[in-house]
A = this chain, B = another copy of it.
């Protein structure tokens, strides 16, 4: 069975525009709408095996794109940096409390 992972969801998010409409359809139903392979094969009137093969091939394509463009990797890095910046900004807020203390001394 294929594993429905967060990673694939992210990769799909970044690279779905490079997929064919059919690939996008299967991936959306399977990973976002949580359809089973059987339900997808019924919906499109194709064999369960065909759906499985298509989804697995698409997953490999997504990993291939990621290897080449690193969009998910860079996104994760940026998210971490933004979080650190945001945190460091909060920490620099003590300035305000010093000003208040200085005021109180007047």
Q: Chain A, 50-75, contact with B by CB distance < 8 Å: what is the 0/1 string? A: 00000000000000010011010000
Pick from B18, B95, B102: contact of A69, CB under 8 Å: B18
Number of interface residues of A (CB under 8 A): 9
Complex interface: chain B residues within 8 A of A18 (CB) = 65, 68-69
Number of copies of this chain that the complex holds: 2
Would B69 and A17 count as touching, CB distance under 8 A? yes
Complex CA–CA separation, A95 to B99 (angstroms) = 11
Q: Which residues of A contact B (CB under 8 A)?
A: 15, 17-18, 65, 68-69, 71, 95, 102
Among all A-B residue pairs, the 3 with the closest Cβ atoms: A17-B68, A18-B68, A17-B69
